[in-house]
Amino acid sequence: MAILIVADHDNHTLQAATFSVLTAASEIAKHISDTELHLLIIGNECQSVIAMAQGITGLSKILVADHQIHQYPLAENIAPLIFSLVQEQGHCNDENREFDKVEYSHIITSAGTTGKDYQPRVAALLDVAQISDIISVESADTFKRPIYAGKAIATVQSSDAIKVLTVRSSAFTAASLTTELLAIESQVPVAALAAQADSGKSAFIKAELTQSSRPELTTAKIVISGGRGMQNTDNFELLYTLADQLHAAVGASRAAVDAGFVANDLQIGQTGKIVAPDLYIAVGISGAIQHIAGIAGSKVIVAINNDPDAPIFDVADYCLVADLFEVLPELTAVLKVKG
Ligand code: FAD
């Protein structure tokens, strides 16, 4: 038996979410006797990702589908690949064509944009249910997940033979990378998967990503978000200046994204990113349930809003009823003095 973990990466580095998924997979493994953790890397020219993965303790095998068609993570190509791997319940080593029989009990990845795209297709191909966005592992077949935008937590038990899961990465601490292993030859065997034909059902056109030197939104320790109250794109500069002083990431409400103030990869909430920083500062955000769904795991929430009845104050630890256009420059000036 084995648990198949599908890696998040950009063909250069493993993304932080994968380390949280590894923790979730290890927790599942504790409930199954004699199971292994296999990491599946799907990409193109992703040798540095493989090298990084070899520094992960606890893995029994790294499976690699390194092919041009996987340069960009298209669900229409990824889902059949995972399906065939699991359906055959095995994989072959490219060089000697030996076939290793493996039975997968779980297929697990992060509930990021890519995982949310292909995992439902994998589940449909296997004719099993998908269990989305798990926040805890109760046993090998029972998991907790938020429903109604986080207003309630459901405990879900699956009787399917194979569990197809996505993991809320902010709910699991990241497994550590044993960096010393990077320098020496890893013992984790790497198996190359046979090349696969392009499904032809989708094509990559372009990616427009926000270029930022600030921390990544989902892993940042401090996040400052702006809402419709910011009024326009230029005013977001006030947040960027403050964020740079605090080494924080910048996020936004959906209203701010829809109004075109910022790019949609900054959106936080039910249909955006889920964050769980040590400190979350909501500026000019009313606190709609769909936004709260993305920030509920934050350790401390600070809200700045000029409406004393704004719902964000119901969930905030520190509430500042004030005009953001007065507060932000003052805060920035104070932090500058304190250095
Ligand atoms: P508003 O609700 O308009 O609030 C603006 C706030 O700014 C107000 O509270 C106001 O008092 C304050 N303000 C104005 N001027 C100032 C000032 N000068 N100083 C201080 N405060 C000021 N939303 C998300 O954020 N993320 C999601 O993922 C998301 N997903 C959704 C999914 C669905 C299916 C639906 C239906 C909605 C979703 N929404 C989501 C939208 C959500 O319902 C709200 O509409 C949105 O969060 C509101 O954004 P906001 O708080 O910026 O704007």
* Residues 261-282: tens digit of each pLDDT: 999 999 999 999 999 999 999 9
- CATH 3.40.50.620-classified regions of the chain: 2-192
222-338 has CATH 3.40.50.1220 classification: yes
pTM above 0.75, yes or no: yes
- Angle between helix axes 75-87 and 113-126 (nearest 10 degrees) is 40
Does the domain at residues 2-192 carry the CATH identifier 3.40.800.10? no
At 17-57, the pLDDT tens digits run: 999 999 999 999 999 999 999 999 999 999 999 999 988 88
Phi, psi torsion values for 49, nearest 5 degrees: -70, -40
Query: Quick one: which atom of ligand 1 is closest to the CA of 253?
Result: 25
What would the mean pLDDT of 157-183 be, rounded to a whole number?
A: 82
Q: Ligand 1 centre from 152 Cα, in Å?
A: 21
- Which helix (DSSP H) or strand (DSSP E) does residue 95 occupy? none
Ligand 1: centre distance to CA 155 (Å): 30
* Residues making up the chain, counted from first to last: 339
Query: Whole-angstrom Cα distance, residue 172 to residue 63?
Result: 24
**Sheet arrangement for strand 136-137:** 136-137, 142-147, 152-157
63-94 residue pLDDT tens: 999 999 999 999 999 999 999 999 875 555 55
Cβ burial, residue 59 (10 Å; 0-12/13-18/19+): buried
Closest C-alpha to ligand 1, atom 11: 307
In the chain, CATH 3.40.50.1220 sits at 222-338
C-beta of 74 in contact with ligand 1 (< 6 A): no
Determine if ligand 1 sits within 6 Å of the CB of residue 327: no
Token pair 């580095």 in the structure block, residue: 13
**What are the distances in angstroms from CA 288 to CA 36, 84, 266, 268?**
42, 42, 17, 11
Longest Cα pair distance anywhere in the chain, in angstroms? 69
pLDDT band at 180 (very low <50, low <70, confident <90, very high): very low
Whole-number CA gyration radius for the chain: 22
User: Is any ligand 1 atom within 6 A of the Cβ of residue 317?
Assistant: no
Rounded Cα distance, 128 and 187, in Å: 34
Pocket test for ligand 1, best of 147, 218, 228, 261 (most atoms within 8 A of CB): 228
